[in-house]
């Protein structure tokens, strides 16, 4: 059984935070970077987009954490804790945060992610980058371990953002997936 199928079985084909049943996809919980049953959760598009873009957060949507924070799945607890922490200015969120219980190891994982919470991915001009953006490379970049050079002006479409490092983004260049530094790109 694939990892995604195992996760869908675990969550009963529902978002592990809000229980929505549509547009589910795996969400890797930082600082991890690979989809595994122990380091990822299944989220709906609404939860996923609001976690990745906190400025678009609908506070009332997150009242679902009242239920999901009691999940026995560690990565669900971690994401619930981090979201409640982001919403702690709301009285109800602070009350839930005060009630929440996690094993020490899980709490350490959750708090580690809070340290990077204020970090944003920005291009060479300080414009915020988001998952799925298209960027242009502004400098010839030699690729370590190969003779390949990513040329100035190369467009990288549908980028991904490193969850644990605001200086890195991922993308495909000449059919090869690679990590590049945000300081060497300009958002289109």
Tens of pLDDT, residue by residue over 10-32, are: 999 999 999 999 899 999 998 88
pLDDT digits 0-9 by tens, 149-159: 999 999 999 99
pLDDT digits 0-9 by tens, 29-53: 988 888 899 999 999 999 999 988 8
Q: What is the pLDDT of residue 151?
A: 95
Q: Cis peptide before 31, with omega less than 30 degrees from 0? A: yes
Q: Which pLDDT band, with edges at 50, 70 and 90, does 2 fall under?
A: confident
Does the pLDDT of residue 87 top 80, yes or no? yes
Instruction: Report in angstroms the alpha-carbon separations of 72 from 67, 102, 188.
Output: 11, 9, 42
Phi/psi of residue 163, nearest 5 degrees: -75, -25
Q: What is the rounded CA–CA span in Å between residue 12 and residue 32? A: 24
The answer to whether the beta carbons of residues 187 and 133 sit under 8 Å apart is: yes
Rounded percentage of the chain residues whose pLDDT exceeds 90: 62
Does the pLDDT of residue 138 top 80, yes or no? yes
The answer to whether the beta carbons of residues 177 and 160 sit under 8 Å apart is: no
The torsion angle over the Cα atoms of residues 159, 164, 167 and 171, rounded to 10 degrees, is -20
Closest CA to 27 of 87, 76, 77, 68: 76
Here the tokens at position 80 are 């619930």
């Amino acid at each position: 059984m694939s990892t995604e199928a195992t996760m869908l079985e675990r969550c009963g084909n529902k978002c592990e935070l809000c229980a929505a049943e549509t547009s589910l996809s795996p969400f890797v919980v930082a600082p991890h970077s690979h989809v595994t049953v122990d380091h990822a959760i299944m989220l709906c598009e609404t939860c996923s987009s609001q976690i990745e873009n906190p400025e678009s957060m609908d506070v009332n949507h997150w009242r679902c954490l009242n239920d999901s924070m009691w999940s026995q799945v560690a990565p669900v607890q971690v994401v619930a804790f981090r979201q409640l922490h982001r919403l702690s200015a709301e009285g109800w969120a602070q009350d839930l945060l005060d009630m929440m219980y996690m094993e020490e190891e899980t709490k350490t994982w959750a708090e580690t992610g809070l340290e990077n919470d204020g970090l944003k991915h920005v291009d060479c001009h300080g414009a915020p980058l988001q998952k799925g953006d298209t960027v242009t490379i502004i400098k010839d970049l030699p690729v370590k371990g190969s003779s390949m050079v990513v040329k100035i002006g190369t467009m990288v479409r549908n980028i991904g953002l490193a969850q644990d490092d605001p200086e890195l983004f991922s993308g495909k260049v000449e059919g090869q997936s690679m990590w590049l530094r945000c300081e060497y790109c300009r958002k289109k």
